[in-house]
Amino acid sequence: MENEQIKKAKNSFLTGENFYAQHLLGVHKLRSYYVFRVWAPHAMQVWLVGTFNEWSESLPMQRDEQTGIWEVQTDLPSEGELYKYKIQQEDGQKQYKMDPFAIRLEPRPGTAAIVYTIPEKKWKDGLYRGRSKRSNYFKRPLNIYELHAGSWRFHWDGTPFTFKDLSKELVPYVKTMGYTHIELMPVMEHPLDQSWGYQLTGYFALCNTYGTPEEFQSFVEECHLANIGVIIDWVPGHFCVNSDAIAYYDGTATFEYTDRQRAENVRWGALNFDLSKPQVQSFLISNALFWLEFYHVDGIRVDAVSNMIYLDYDEKQWQPNHLGTNQNLDGIYFLQKLNAVVKLAHSNAIMIAEESTSATKVTGRLEDDALGFDFKWDLGWMNDTLAFFEMDPIDRGNKLNLLTFSFMYMSDEHYLLPLSHDEVVHGKKSLMHKMWGDRYKQFAQLRTLLIYLMAHPGKKLLFMGGEWGQFLEWKFNEGLEWHDLADPMNYAMQQYTKKLNEVYRSETALWELEETPQASIEFIDADNHEQVVLSFIRKGKRKKDFLIFVFNFSAVEYPTFELPVPFAGTYEEIFNTELAEFGGTWTQIQEDLQSQPVNNKKYQHAINLVVPALGAVILKPKKISLSTKR
């Protein structure tokens, strides 16, 4: 008679409430034998085949008629052997399929799963995880270094670094540079490097190219011991069409929609998950919790959310829902359920959405009909900002709204500002190459772009290579241009980014009030179209805790720029993008700046300072009178 616990697990998988489905399905070692289970509800027959039975049909599996789960127990396999499921479809054809719940797959181009039992790890990151549970990341600095694990660095023989290598070199690098988190593009198994990991086949399997599951566990642990959080990209909306993976798993629409029109993802040549199916919900939510718990990752960035919540997002014919709208109600319900379950289990897990529209509330409470994410990528900010910086400065005066428009909606969501991998490939040019002008001016503007990223309300993300101004576009099959750092300008740019990251982490005015962005910023002048100078204040909780940012987006230096200030007193310059140590021409920062009375509509005091061309400065109150009238 079947174990009662197994019955409950099967039934809850069937109803979409089994959030640890990997403990039921896949392969599991029980004493001296293994049990294999796979969900293939419309299969005529399923066999377990592998190196242990010479890929023969000698191990037929038994079907649970209620759940469509097939099972077999055998003592034939040994650890490390390969296996697949051979599925006889309704039309009589037989197809070899990989195990959707495999935690390890053989190296490409092979597609077999590996009989693999990972020993329980004795983690040493308890102090970091304990601090994270007690920390409110909305009110803490969040500065993410985004990277593709397979191309951050290569060995001398042309092979990419594994997570064992990255533990030794990436972790100390990120710590030295002052980032709070890293974000990894998908690390799950995928058949084609050109997809960068966004066309998945093995959702529970670490990509074999990057090493073993144990090595990835150790990598995350090393990050935590260095006080660095780890976020992974995840793709629950669509999956790879390869016939040996989960596509039409039992010969019918299993993980995908039955309706071919809804199942096919034309834009990416993929298949869309049927997010209305309870079994698919169990599969995907289990997968999210698996990465959070088994690997101790700190957060998940959900890719292509728009594709999941809008019926008309893809390049094909579509039908409105029963309400007559373009919303994918199945996708919305799934994402709300996903975030509810994740937050119930791990309230401190960081859930991030890559979503490009404003029609659906993405971040915020489920009770307010939001999707429940913590942060949303602000792709509008990214597109407008980069368009502005690519522009000839002579044309920028009439386009200052490209920078200021984002302040109009910054309270609509909890935003993360991304300068991501998507913007440095496919002929879009690197961040450095996007900048206008000669090489010196490009570096000057890249420095200004990065300080603008830090000054704007919202959490931060920068893709690898941008920190030192790599000129070439990112290539998924090559390492970064580390030899660039032999050039004094690139090295100075890297040191600039490091120093800027230090300022971001140490100045509470840049993140303390970001749950309410409107309270954290005050404009001095957002309409200086003639000089193309933007100035504003970032504020902390205490009245005297504030920073003043002055940006000069023109190619002209202003040697006696009058800047209104909120209080009388002395202000000091704490950061200047044009210092020689950063690649500029200034040998020292400006002396303390004393305010003088002025007749200004907003403030009654002002200071005079030099504002560098294509540069920016940060000012901080040194000795001010808080009782003076504005």
Q: How many residues does the chain have?
A: 630
Q: What is the pLDDT of residue 628?
A: 63
303 counts as catalytic: yes
Mean pLDDT of 289-301: 98
Task: Write down the catalytic residue from 183, 298, 354, 355.
Answer: 354
Rounded CA separation 548/404 (Å): 16
Quote the pLDDT of residue 358.
86
Calpha distance 34→115 (Å, rounded) = 9
Whether cis (ω within 30° of 0) applies to the bond prior to 191 is: no
Model confidence at 429, pLDDT cuts 50, 70, 90, reads: very high
- Strand, coil or helix: what is 313? coil
Rounded-to-integer distance, Cα 201 and Cα 243, Å = 10
The residue-averaged pLDDT of 324-341 equals 96
548-556 mean pLDDT: 97
Above 80 in pLDDT, residue 266?
yes
Q: What average pLDDT does range 450-458 have in this prediction? A: 97
Instruction: Tell me: pLDDT of 394 over 70.
Output: yes
The three-point CA angle 193-198-200 to 5° equals 85
* Domains with residue ranges and CATH for the chain: 4-114 (2.60.40.10), 140-510 (3.20.20.80), 517-625 (2.60.40.1180)
**What is this structure's pTM?**
0.96
Residue 12 has pLDDT above 50, yes or no: yes
Name the active-site residue from 222, 250, 303, 374: 303
Residue closest to 167 by CA, chosen among 209, 123, 214, 132: 214
User: With 70 as the cut, is the pLDDT of residue 198 above it?
Assistant: yes
Q: What share of the chain is helix, strand, coil (3-state, %, to 5)?
A: 30, 25, 45
Q: Which pLDDT band holds residue 629 (cuts at 50, 70, 90)?
A: low
Taking alpha carbons only, the member of 145, 20, 9, 113 closest to residue 64 is 9
Instruction: Work out the average pLDDT over 29-33.
Output: 90
354 an active-site residue? yes
Split at pLDDT 50, 70, 90, the class of 357 is confident
Q: For every residue of 410-474, which 3-state class applies, written as one string?
A: CCCCCEEEEECHHHCCCCCCCHHHHCCCCHHHHHHHHHHHHHHHHHCCCEEEEECCCCCCCCCCC
Whether 95 contacts 243, CB under 8 Å:
yes
pLDDT band at 1 (very low <50, low <70, confident <90, very high): very low
Mean pLDDT of the chain: 95
Percent of the chain with pLDDT over 70: 99
The pLDDT confidence band at residue 505, using thresholds 50, 70 and 90, is very high
Give the model's pLDDT for residue 314: 84
Pairing status of strand 143-147 against strand 181-184: parallel
The mean pLDDT of 46-52, rounded to a whole number, is 98
The pLDDT of residue 626 is 81
Q: Please, what is the angle between helix 163-177 and helix 488-506, to 10°?
A: 70
pLDDT, position 334: 98
Do residues 607 and 621 touch, judged by C-beta distance below 8 A? no
Helix ranges (DSSP H) in 228-328: 260-263, 278-294, 305-309
Q: Confidence band (pLDDT; 50, 70, 90) for 630?
A: low
Three-state secondary-structure class, residue 231? strand
